[in-house]
């Protein structure tokens, strides 16, 4: 019993925290900051319990008498769990000021937040298609509710409705693919499906390929890949800033967790999902996302379009896995980390500035900000440089590993397109930097804001420092894992897959 309880403890702590917050949310005298710190405490406690479990190089099926082989604890899932828990804590702490200035947040918001993280953690551990679907829908239901949490704001209600309709529609494909797999193979366990397809795949190749593509369509919908991206910009704009940050960073990590597990175990060797299909989707995503990002004036929508482009970069590496690129899967995991760090910094600054705003922030709102808020402007510039892949930032190394994997697999056109799109991204990222440093703001000229020392600003500064450290300083401390060290950690996690 204890052998099962220990690996299951971090997930248990998160779900206990969710129910505790749900119960005490009925107490009207509890201050919002108390809910926030209780939530962060549960996340950090789960993180502390999870961290020693990484590196044991073992795979454990939790309660196999009850769940069978559906819930698997391995280094792959553990590494993603650490990213979810750390990402959730950072999201809440960085948005502390924004949350405190909105009167519609209460304990239920934080309970839903933990329910969503619980769904992400079970999704990373899912070794069964039915378990993966339940986890995916649990995560999605939490995000749907969080997206529409500002009930009196029409844009938030519209975003929730669009996300709910299209997300539910996408989930149908996952169920359909799972039903086909079960009808042919008699199992929905991912590792058992792979073994069955190796032995009998040629007998049912067309049906199995259709099932594999149906499931990937759901994942591509959730990632926001073109042409499955129609909900993304509206959802990002209508959702509250903490939720937008959560979706852009942590949720994207969770979706690629299940995409990688499916691809590495089920799709690579069996050929159910052809590399050509993923390559075409990657090209459409890079080009379509770039066009959307360039054409926006509202910064939330610009970052939504750019997140589509970053998903396209990772699809480049995903298509390279099946062509023998050993660096492709670790490159995706490193890129997820680099994008998370950069996007959290950017969204954190927007959230901090938008705390007192009554309308969406545009490029024009940042004119002259380098004079008014020099420290925040420098941090935002660092985030923009990293997102564009500028040298000496962690974003540059993330793109370097992605393009290297494409070249290793012989996809020179895809690597060239990715580099071209990275140059295009300079326009919409550097446009914001230009607004801050080179365009005066006549209306607010002379109003200089002092740097406010707060947990939100300190963590934003920390993320900016990590962004630079990840690009140039990773070899200065021998015991601190640099970029190569993170790649090795990713390789170790991938090596634990069954």
Mean pLDDT score across all residues of the chain: 85
- Calculate mean pLDDT across residues 66-86: 86
Question: Phi and psi of 209, rounded to 5°?
Answer: -65, -40
Q: What is the pLDDT of residue 427?
A: 92
Which residues lie below 8 Å from residue 485, measured CB to CB, with a gap of 6+? 474
Residues 105, 99 contacting (CB under 8 angstroms) = yes
Above pLDDT 70, what percent of the chain? 92
Secondary structure of residue 60 in the 3-state scheme: strand
Assess whether pLDDT exceeds 60 at residue 319.
Answer: yes
Assess whether pLDDT exceeds 50 at residue 385.
Answer: yes
- Calculate mean pLDDT across residues 9-29: 89
Q: Residue 394 corresponds to which tokens in the numbers above?
A: 């962690």
> What would you report as the CA-atom Rg of the chain, rounded to the nearest whole angstrom?
22
CB atoms within 10 A of CB 235: 28
Question: Phi and psi of 449, rounded to 5°?
Answer: -95, 130
DSSP-assigned beta bridge partners for residue 298:
362
Identify the residue with better confidence: 120 or 476.
Answer: 120
Residues 340, 87 contacting (CB under 8 angstroms) = yes
Distance CA 205, CA 227 (A): 26
258-290 residues labelled b (16+ CB within 10 A) or e (exposed): bbbbbbbbbbbebebbebeebbebbbbbbbbbb
E strands in 276-362: none
User: How far is C-alpha 254 from the chain's CA centre?
Assistant: 6
- Calculate mean pLDDT across residues 137-157: 86
Return the minimum-mean-pLDDT range out of 135-144, 186-195, 316-325: 316-325
Return the minimum-mean-pLDDT range out of 95-104, 265-274, 287-296: 265-274
130-157 residues labelled b (16+ CB within 10 A) or e (exposed): ebbbbbbbbbbbbbbbbbbbbeeeeebe
Instruction: List, for residues 106-123, the tens digit of each pLDDT value.
Output: 888 899 999 999 999 999
The crossing angle, in degrees rounded to 10, of helices 107-125 and 2-24 is 160
Do the bridges between strand 60-61 and strand 72-73 make them parallel or antiparallel, or are there none, so unpaired?
Answer: antiparallel
Q: What is the pLDDT of residue 42?
A: 95
Distance CA 480, CA 451 (A): 30
Distance CA 257, CA 313 (A): 15
Q: How confident is the model at residue 182 (pLDDT cuts 50, 70, 90)?
A: very high
Assess whether pLDDT exceeds 70 at residue 301.
Answer: yes
Residues 129, 175 contacting (CB under 8 angstroms) = no
Q: What is the pLDDT of residue 17?
A: 93
Q: What is the pLDDT of residue 402?
A: 92
Return the minimum-mean-pLDDT range out of 15-29, 97-111, 181-195: 97-111
Identify the residue with better confidence: 108 or 487.
Answer: 108
Return the minimum-mean-pLDDT range out of 88-97, 284-293, 462-471: 462-471
Assess whether pLDDT exceeds 60 at residue 309.
Answer: yes
DSSP-assigned beta bridge partners for residue 126:
71
User: How far is C-alpha 342 from the chain's CA centre?
Assistant: 12
Q: What is the pLDDT of residue 440?
A: 78
Q: Residue 214 corresponds to which tokens in the numbers above?
A: 């149906």
- Calculate mean pLDDT across residues 359-369: 84
Q: How confident is the model at residue 381 (pLDDT cuts 50, 70, 90)?
A: very high
Distance CA 368, CA 445 (A): 8
Q: What is the dihedral of CA 235, 114, 141, 8, to 10 degrees?
A: 130
- Calculate mean pLDDT across residues 152-181: 87
- Calculate mean pLDDT across residues 295-312: 90
Q: What is the pLDDT of residue 194?
A: 86
Closest by CA position to 399, among listed 420, 424, 418, 425:
418
Above pLDDT 90, what percent of the chain? 30
Residues 346, 387 contacting (CB under 8 angstroms) = yes
- Calculate mean pLDDT across residues 158-169: 87
Return the minimum-mean-pLDDT range out of 34-38, 61-65, 87-91, 99-103: 61-65
Q: What is the pLDDT of residue 2?
A: 46
Angle at 407 between CA 401 and CA 411, to 5 degrees: 125
Which residues lie below 8 Å from residue 439, measured CB to CB, with a gap of 6+? 367, 368
Distance CA 386, CA 161 (A): 33
Return the minimum-mean-pLDDT range out of 143-157, 292-306, 337-351, 416-430: 143-157
CB atoms within 10 A of CB 13: 22
Q: What is the pLDDT of residue 1?
A: 46
Secondary structure of residue 189 in the 3-state scheme: strand
Distance CA 456, CA 171 (A): 36
Assess whether pLDDT exceeds 50 at residue 474.
Answer: yes
Distance CA 326, CA 401 (A): 11
Q: Residue 496 corresponds to which tokens in the numbers above?
A: 């634990």
Q: How confident is the model at residue 88 (pLDDT cuts 50, 70, 90)?
A: very high
Closest by CA position to 150, among listed 116, 103, 89:
103
Q: What is the pLDDT of residue 325?
A: 73
- Calculate mean pLDDT across residues 260-274: 78
Q: What is the pLDDT of residue 443?
A: 58
CB atoms within 10 A of CB 422: 22
Assess whether pLDDT exceeds 70 at residue 293.
Answer: yes
Q: C-alpha distances in angstroms, 149 versus 29, 38, 54, 89, 106? A: 21, 20, 35, 19, 10
Query: Would you give the DSSP letter of residue 362?
Result: B
Assess whether pLDDT exceeds 80 at residue 47.
Answer: yes
Instruction: List, for residues 439-458, the tens digit of each pLDDT value.
Output: 876 655 556 665 567 788 88
Assess whether pLDDT exceeds 80 at residue 36.
Answer: yes
Q: What is the pLDDT of residue 222?
A: 87
Q: What is the pLDDT of residue 442?
A: 60
Assess whether pLDDT exceeds 70 at residue 6.
Answer: no
DSSP symbols for 19-55: HHHHHHTT-TTS-HHHHHHHHHHHHHHHHHHHGGGTT
- Calculate mean pLDDT across residues 279-302: 91
Q: What is the pLDDT of residue 451?
A: 59
């Amino acid at each position: 019993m204890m052998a099962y309880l220990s690996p299951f403890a971090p997930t248990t702590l998160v779900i206990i925290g969710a129910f505790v917050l749900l119960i005490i949310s009925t107490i009207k005298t509890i201050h919002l900051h108390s809910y926030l710190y209780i939530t962060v405490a549960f996340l950090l406690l789960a993180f502390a319990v999870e961290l020693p479990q990484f590196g044991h190089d073992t795979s454990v099926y939790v309660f196999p008498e009850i769940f069978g082989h559906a819930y698997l604890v391995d280094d792959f899932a553990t590494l993603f769990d650490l990213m979810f828990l750390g990402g959730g804590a950072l999201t809440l702490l960085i948005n502390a000021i924004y949350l405190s200035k909105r009167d519609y947040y209460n304990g239920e918001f934080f309970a839903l937040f933990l329910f969503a993280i619980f769904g992400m953690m079970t999704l990373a551990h899912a070794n069964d298609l039915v378990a993966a679907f339940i986890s995916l829908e649990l995560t999605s239901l939490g995000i749907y509710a969080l997206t529409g949490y500002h009930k009196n704001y029409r844009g938030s209600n519209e975003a929730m409705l669009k996300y709910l309709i299209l997300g539910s529609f996408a989930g149908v494909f996952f169920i359909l693919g799972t039903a086909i797999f079960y009808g042919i193979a008699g199992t929905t366990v991912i590792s058992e499906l792979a073994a069955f397809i190796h032995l009998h795949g040629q007998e049912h190749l067309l049906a199995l390929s259709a099932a594999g593509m149906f499931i990937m369509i759901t994942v591509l919908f959730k990632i926001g890949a073109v042409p499955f991206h129609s909900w993304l910009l509206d959802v990002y704009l209508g959702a509250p800033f903490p939720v937008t940050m959560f979706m852009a960073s942590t949720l994207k990590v969770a979706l690629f967790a299940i995409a990688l597990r499916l691809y590495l175990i089920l799709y690579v060797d069996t050929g159910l999902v052809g590399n050509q299909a993923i390559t075409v989707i990657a090209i459409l995503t890079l080009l379509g996302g770039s066009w959307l990002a360039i054409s926006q004036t509202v910064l939330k929508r610009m970052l939504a379009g750019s997140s589509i482009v970053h998903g396209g970069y990772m699809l480049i590496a995903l298509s390279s896995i099946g062509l023998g690129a050993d660096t492709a899967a670790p490159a995706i995991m490193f890129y997820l980390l680099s994008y998370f760090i950069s996007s959290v910094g950017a969204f954190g600054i927007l959230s901090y500035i938008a705390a007192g705003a009554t309308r969406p922030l545009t490029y024009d709102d940042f004119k002259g900000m380098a004079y008014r808020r020099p420290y925040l402007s420098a941090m935002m510039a660092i985030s923009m440089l990293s997102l564009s892949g500028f040298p000496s930032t962690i974003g540059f190394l993330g793109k370097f590993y992605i393009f290297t994997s494409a070249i290793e697999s012989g996809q020179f056109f895809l690597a060239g397109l990715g580099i071209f799109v990275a140059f295009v991204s300079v326009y919409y990222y550097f446009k914001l930097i230009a607004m801050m440093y080179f365009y005066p703001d006549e209306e607010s000229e002379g109003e200089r804001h002092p740097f406010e020392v707060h947990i939100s600003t300190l963590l934003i500064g920390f993320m900016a420092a990590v962004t630079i450290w990840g690009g140039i300083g990773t070899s200065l401390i021998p015991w601190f894992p640099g970029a190569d060290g993170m790649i090795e950690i990713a390789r170790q996690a991938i090596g634990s897959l069954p």
